[in-house]
Amino acid sequence: MDCHSCKRIKEKKELIFESNKFVVFLAHDQTYLARCFVDLKTHKASLSDLTKEEWIDFGGLVKKLENALIKSFNATMFNWSSSMNNAFLESFPDPHVHFHFRPRYSKEVDFQGKIFKDPNFGKHYDRTMHTEIQPNVRKKIIEKIRENL
Amino acid sequence: MDCHSCKRIKEKKELIFESNKFVVFLAHDQTYLARCFVDLKTHKASLSDLTKEEWIDFGGLVKKLENALIKSFNATMFNWSSSMNNAFLESFPDPHVHFHFRPRYSKEVDFQGKIFKDPNFGKHYDRTMHTEIQPNVRKKIIEKIRENL
């Protein structure tokens, strides 16, 4: 069980919701409030391997997640990416299709006594920044998104 | 006509191919050989606005483009992203759904007398690097991909 995505799916830790084909988890880094990982349930290596059903399911998930983030935290827009670079640093690459979801905010968000401010709205996300937040606030973020799904 | 994607679609400059719903263009920066932009033909603001038909079409395009890049230049894997940050630097944001496609290479590629070497394979793409190449080589890259579609 070396695959990060398979591990997340098995452990179900900080799972927000799942569709038929994908599972959404709160990401550790919360520089961009409600940053998530979206894992394909099946271990497949590349986006080329996705079926029509998986793409339709993904489209529905995108709509549901983006709408929930607008309702929950007034997110302005969203960055989506699928890279899977890390897997290729291994001797025997075994990538698993997943997406990075970063909501972006033109205005700061005051949630649970903490101010979340997008550090560079309108520009590419900054991967050098890492924002840790308390487990109880993480739990509240998950609950808030779930209320708005 | 301030929309970059609408402008590209209208001008058709360095267009590689099109599906029913999207158009693929060679990107200016070629740090990652055969980097492309993939524009939705319709001016829509966010991935939430895509229909099932558009997602199915996109899935087919992904497969076609990735396979062509493996055949053309032995690309190892691919980074896909959809951000649209720039549009939100405007006073009246008017984003247009598009994707960034960056083929990544574990081995260097010798093409048309030029060596293309992925500067950081296995890691996130580097947006600070810009690689300009001659128009005749750009044309050959487009032709090569087309041959393998």
To test the contact with chain A by mutation, choose from B40, B79, B85 the residue with the greatest count of A C-beta atoms within 10 A, namely B85
The complex scores an ipTM of: 0.97
Q: What is the pLDDT of residue B22?
A: 98
pLDDT digits (tens, 9 = 90+) for B41-94: 999 999 999 999 999 999 999 999 999 999 999 999 999 999 999 999 988 899
pLDDT digits (tens, 9 = 90+) for A24-74: 999 999 999 999 999 999 999 999 999 999 999 999 999 999 999 999 999
A76 to chain B: which residues are within 8 Å by CB?
Answer: 88
Structure tokens at A92: 């025997």
Chain B interface with A: residues with Cβ < 8 Å: 46-48, 50-52, 54-56, 58-59, 62-63, 66-67, 76-86, 88-89, 93, 95, 104, 106, 121-125, 127
B22: part of which helix (H) or strand (E)? Answer: strand B22-26
Tell me if A77 and B46 make a contact (CB, 8 A cut-off).
yes
pLDDT at A1 over 70: no
Overall average pLDDT of the B102-123 stretch: 97
Q: What is the pLDDT of residue B2?
A: 84
DSSP secondary structure string for all residues of A95-149: ---EEEEEEE-SS-EEETTEEE--TTTTS---TT------HHHHHHHHHHHHHT-
Cα distance between residue A2 and residue A8, in whole Å: 11
The CA-based angle B74-B79-B82, given to 5 degrees, is: 145
A82, exposed or middle or buried, with CB in 10 Å at 0-12, 13-18, 19+? buried
pLDDT digits (tens, 9 = 90+) for B16-32: 999 999 999 999 999 99
In sequence order, what are the residues at sequence separation of 6 or more whose Cβ sits closer than 8 angstroms to the Cβ of residue B91? Answer: none
Overall average pLDDT of the B107-134 stretch: 96
